[in-house]
């Protein structure tokens, strides 16, 4: 068992820091690495690129289109024209056409909707990067907590080994019974299991952090010494801040505006569409579709004004209008729901922090009391005034108190992260 624990401990340390690495990696540095390397950042950026392309596509409805075409006709025979034989057996022609929309009423709401969708994509990119940053921060603190648990388990094992050695010496001197040695051996076995479990937890936490960062985090981790939420926990003030700066709320607001704009498009299909078309064509043969008197022309130009008016479309316009209006109402309701959720998130995070602070103070007192209990029980045992089981229980209680302290510190950090997330901030200032 001792060999297995030693190997596990070495593996955990190797995953946390490279040999000889003395530098400490801060939370901000780890988040920057994740934002640079994790695929989620690139995926969010591609969403903005796609939305920008949709804006360009919608803008095209106002711009002219230019078409150029050409043809070459090969004839394996000669053409006779009124008794004359034309020696040419092929014909080449080309045409150039420019079409400029003059009135396209449906293009305006579609263009407006595309622009709002682009802004929504930009805010959503920020929100996705924010979520990635918070996932990284939670993985960071999970590793820090696992390190503390491993240190506590190792300290318990060291104390158990020292107690076992002392008990064996006292048993050899016939000051205590062999049962005390047995109890001390049981305590060592339990401590070894705690080290093995803590080592496994540290390895898993480190692997999760490496996955989020998409790389190996070298060096020991240095958690911020100060609070991540150093504000007065005023719910009303924090809710106002959240409404003003949360990216997901801004993204949903722009998405609702986009849906409202697009919903106007079906009703505008009844407006006629007017397009001006200018065309020119050239050929090395006389045009066959012009009057005979002009059959010597080899170039032709036209200017046309086209009007298209779809008076009845079999109900498609009305159906699209109903569908898009419903989608716009859904987007508006989702925006209202998120507004209400903001207040819930902020107040829940505040309650989480207050409870974690109370738990942390209690855990700190518990650790101090457990340390005194170990010292007092050890002294009483050496004087023959305490039993071996009491010594083992004191050692185990100290470990449990240190585990509770680490859990309370993690809960407080999680509460601080939840509060920053609820008001639209990143886990640490200066990192976006």
**8 A C-beta contact, residue 9 and residue 199:** yes
For residue 224, the Cα-to-chain-centroid distance in whole angstroms is 22
Question: Which residues fall within 8 angstroms of residue 422, CB to CB, at 6 or more apart?
Answer: 238, 242, 342, 345, 346, 348, 349
Q: E strands along 259-377, which residues?
A: 273-283, 299-308
Mean pLDDT across the chain: 88
Residue 177 in this model has a pLDDT that exceeds 70: yes
224-238 residue pLDDT tens: 988 999 889 999 999
Structure tokens at 315: 């109900």
325-357 residue pLDDT tens: 999 999 999 999 999 999 999 999 999 999 999
Return the bridge partners of 233, or none.
Answer: none
Q: For 2-422, which CATH superfamily applies?
A: Outer membrane efflux proteins (OEP) (1.20.1600.10)
Domains in the chain: boundaries: 2-422
Query: 337: part of which helix (H) or strand (E)?
Result: helix 316-382
What is the reported pTM? 0.83
**8 A C-beta contact, residue 421 and residue 130:** yes
β-strands 65-74, 84-86 pairing: unpaired
64-96 residue pLDDT tens: 999 999 988 776 665 555 555 454 557 788 999
pLDDT at residue 387 in the model: 84
19-54 residue pLDDT tens: 444 478 999 999 999 999 999 999 999 999 999 999
């Amino acid at each position: 068992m001792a060999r297995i624990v030693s190997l596990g401990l070495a593996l955990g340390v190797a995953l946390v820091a490279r040999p000889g690495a003395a530098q400490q990696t801060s939370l901000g540095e780890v988040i920057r690495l994740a934002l640079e390397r994790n695929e989620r950042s690139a995926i969010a950026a591609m969403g903005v690129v796609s939305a920008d392309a949709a804006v360009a596509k919608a803008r095209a409805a106002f711009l002219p289109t230019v078409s150029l075409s050409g043809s070459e006709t090969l004839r394996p025979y000669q053409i006779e024209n009124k008794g004359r034989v034309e020696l040419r057996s092929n014909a080449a022609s080309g045409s150039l056409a420019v079409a400029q929309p003059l009135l396209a009423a449906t293009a305006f709401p579609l263009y407006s909707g595309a622009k709002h969708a682009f802004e929504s994509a930009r805010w959503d990119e920020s929100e996705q990067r924010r979520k990635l940053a918070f996932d990284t921060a939670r993985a960071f603190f999970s590793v820090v907590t696992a390190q503390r648990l491993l240190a506590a388990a190792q300290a318990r094992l060291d104390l158990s080994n020292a107690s076992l050695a002392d008990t064996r010496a006292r048993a050899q001197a016939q000051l205590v019974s062999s049962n005390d040695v047995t109890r001390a051996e049981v305590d060592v076995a339990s401590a070894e299991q705690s080290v093995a479990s803590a080592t496994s937890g540290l390895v898993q936490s480190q692997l999760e952090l490496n996955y989020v960062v998409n790389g190996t985090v070298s060096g020991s981790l240095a958690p911020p010494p100060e609070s991540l939420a150093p504000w007065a926990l005023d719910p009303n003030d924090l809710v106002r801040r959240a409404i003003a700066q949360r990216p997901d709320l801004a993204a949903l607001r722009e998405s609702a505006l986009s849906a409202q704009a697009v919903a106007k498009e079906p009703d505008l299909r009844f407006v006629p569409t007017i397009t001006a078309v200018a065309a020119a064509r050239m050929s090395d043969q006389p045009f066959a579709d012009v009057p005979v008197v002009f059959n010597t022309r080899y170039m032709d130009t036209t200017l046309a004004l086209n009007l298209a008016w779809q008076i009845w479309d079999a109900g498609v316009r009305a159906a699209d209008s109903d569908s898009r209006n419903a989608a716009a109402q859904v987007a508006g309701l989702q925006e209202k729901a998120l507004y209400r959720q903001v207040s819930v998130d902020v107040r829940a995070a505040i309650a989480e922090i207050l409870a974690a602070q109370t738990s942390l103070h209690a855990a700190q007192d518990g650790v101090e009391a457990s340390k005194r209990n170990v010292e007092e029980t050890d002294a009483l045992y050496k004087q023959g005034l305490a039993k071996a089981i009491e010594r083992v229980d004191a050692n185990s209680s100290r470990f449990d108190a240190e585990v509770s302290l680490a859990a309370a510190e993690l809960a407080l950090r999680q509460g601080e992260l939840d509060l920053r997330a609820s008001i639209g901030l990143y886990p640490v200032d200066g990192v976006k």
